[in-house]
Amino acid sequence: MRLSTKILAVGALVFVLPVPGTFILGGLILLAGAAARVFDL
């Protein structure tokens, strides 16, 4: 499994957690995963 896929999976899990603040953090992690996918990591 590629690193970017792992980052996207973790970001999606954090994004859906019903804890205050994780919505924004999950979004940022998803953006980092997308950037890793673009730069082929």
pTM of the predicted protein model? 0.78
In whole angstroms, give the CA distance from residue 13 to residue 41: 20
Interval 1-41: pLDDT, tens: 788 888 888 888 888 888 888 888 888 899 998 998 898 87
Q: What integer pLDDT is reported at residue 5 of this predicted model?
A: 86
Q: What integer pLDDT is reported at residue 17 of this predicted model?
A: 85
Tell me, what DSSP letter sits at residue 41?
-
DSSP letter for each residue of 17-29: -SSTTHHHHHHHH
> Whole domain around residue 32: which residue ranges?
3-38
CB atoms within 10 A of CB 10: 15
Q: What integer pLDDT is reported at residue 27 of this predicted model?
A: 87
CA 13, 14, 17, 23 dihedral sign is negative
Count how many domains the chain has: 1
In whole angstroms, give the CA distance from residue 12 to residue 22: 10
